[in-house]
Amino acid sequence: MTTDTSSTEVTDGFHLVIDALKLNDINTIFGLVGIPITDLARLAQAEGMRFIGFRHEQHAGNAAAIAGYMTQKPGICLTVSAPGFLNGLTALANATTNCFPMILISGSSEREIVDLQQGDYEEMDQLAAAKPYAKAAYRVLHAEDIGIGVARAIRAAVSGRPGGVYLDLPAKLLSQTLDVARAKQSLVRVVDAAPRQIPARDAVERALQVLKSAKRPLILLGKGAAYSQADNEIRTLVEKTGIPYLPMSMAKGLLPDTHPQSASAARSFVLAESDVVVLIGARLNWLLSHGKGKTWGGPKQFIQIDISPTEIDSNVAIAAPLIGDIGSCVSALLAAGTGGGMEKPSADWLGAIQERKDKNMAGMAARLNQNPAPMNFHSALRSIRDVLKMHPDINLVNEGANTLDFARSIIDQYRPRKRFDSGTWGIMGIGMGYAIGAAVTSGLPVVAVEGDSAFGFSGMELETICRYNLPVTTIVFNNNGVYRGTDVNPTGGADVAPTVFVKGARYDKVIEAFGGVGYHVTTPAELTQALSDAIAAGKPALINAVIDESAGTESGRLTNLNPQGAKKK
Residue 367's Cα: distance from chain center in Å? 29
Q: What torsion do the CA atoms of 177, 178, 184, 190 make, to the nearest 10 degrees?
A: -70
Q: What torsion do the CA atoms of 173, 175, 178, 180 make, to the nearest 10 degrees?
A: 120
Determine the Cα–Cα distance for residues 152 and 155; give it in Å rounded to an integer: 5
Determine the Cα–Cα distance for residues 175 and 35; give it in Å rounded to an integer: 13
283 counts as binding ligand ADP under rule CB under 6 A: yes
Q: Are 92 and 120 in contact (CB under 8 A)?
A: no
307 binds, among ligand ADP, ligand TZD, none (CB under 5 to 8 A by kind): ligand ADP
Determine the Cα–Cα distance for residues 357 and 440; give it in Å rounded to an integer: 38
Q: Are 163 and 101 in contact (CB under 8 A)?
A: yes
Instruction: Please provide residue 138's backbone torsions phi and psi, each rounded to the nearest 5 degrees.
Output: -135, 155
Residues in contact with ligand TZD, shown as a per-residue x/- string from 468 to 497 under the rule CB under 6 A: ---------x-x--xx--------------
DSSP per residue over 349-391, as a string? HHHHHHHHHHHHHHHHHHHHT---SS--HHHHHHHHHHHHHT-
459 binds, among ligand TZD, ligand ADP, none (CB under 5 to 8 A by kind): none
60 counts as binding ligand ADP under rule CB under 6 A: no
Member of 247, 433, 451, 471 binding ligand TZD (CB under 6 A)? 451
**Beta strands 177-179 and 10-12, pairing class:** antiparallel
Member of 19, 306, 463, 508 binding ligand ADP (CB under 6 A)? 306
227 binds, among ligand ADP, ligand TZD, none (CB under 5 to 8 A by kind): ligand ADP
427 counts as binding ligand TZD under rule CB under 6 A: yes
Determine the Cα–Cα distance for residues 21 and 16; give it in Å rounded to an integer: 9
Determine the Cα–Cα distance for residues 180 and 11; give it in Å rounded to an integer: 6
Give, as ranges, the residues between 214 and 273 that touch ligand ADP (CB under 6 A): 222-224, 227-228, 248, 250-251
Member of 237, 243, 265, 282 binding ligand ADP (CB under 6 A)? 282
Give the Å distances, CA to CA, from 544 to 71, 73, 373, 451, 480: 32, 35, 16, 11, 11
Q: Which of 246, 225, 210, 236 minimizes the C-alpha distance to 321?
A: 210
Determine the Cα–Cα distance for residues 336 and 330; give it in Å rounded to an integer: 10
Q: For 516-540, give one letter per residue: b (16+ CB within 10 A) or e.
A: bbbbbbebbebbbbbbeebbeeebb
Residue nearest to ligand ADP (CB): 224
403 counts as binding ligand TZD under rule CB under 6 A: yes
Cβ proximity to ligand ADP, 290 vs 467, nearer residue: 290
Cβ proximity to ligand TZD, 8 vs 562, nearer residue: 562
Cβ proximity to ligand TZD, 198 vs 497, nearer residue: 497
| Distance in Å, CB of 555 to ligand ADP, minimum | 18
530 binds, among ligand TZD, ligand ADP, none (CB under 5 to 8 A by kind): none
| Distance in Å, CB of 419 to ligand TZD, minimum | 17
Cβ proximity to ligand ADP, 162 vs 518, nearer residue: 162
61 counts as binding ligand TZD under rule CB under 6 A: no
Cβ proximity to ligand TZD, 233 vs 549, nearer residue: 549
161 counts as binding ligand ADP under rule CB under 6 A: yes
Cβ proximity to ligand ADP, 109 vs 228, nearer residue: 228
| Distance in Å, CB of 100 to ligand ADP, minimum | 9
**How many residues are listed for the chain in this entry?**
569
Member of 143, 277, 401, 449 binding ligand TZD (CB under 6 A)? 401
Residues in contact with ligand ADP, shown as a per-residue x/- string from 418 to 447 under the rule CB under 6 A: ------x-----------------------
Where on the chain is the footprint of ligand ADP (CB under 6 A)?
98-99, 161-162, 222-224, 227-228, 248, 250-251, 281-283, 285, 287, 306-308, 311, 325-326, 424
Where on the chain is the footprint of ligand TZD (CB under 6 A)?
400-403, 426-429, 451-454, 477, 479, 482-483, 552, 556
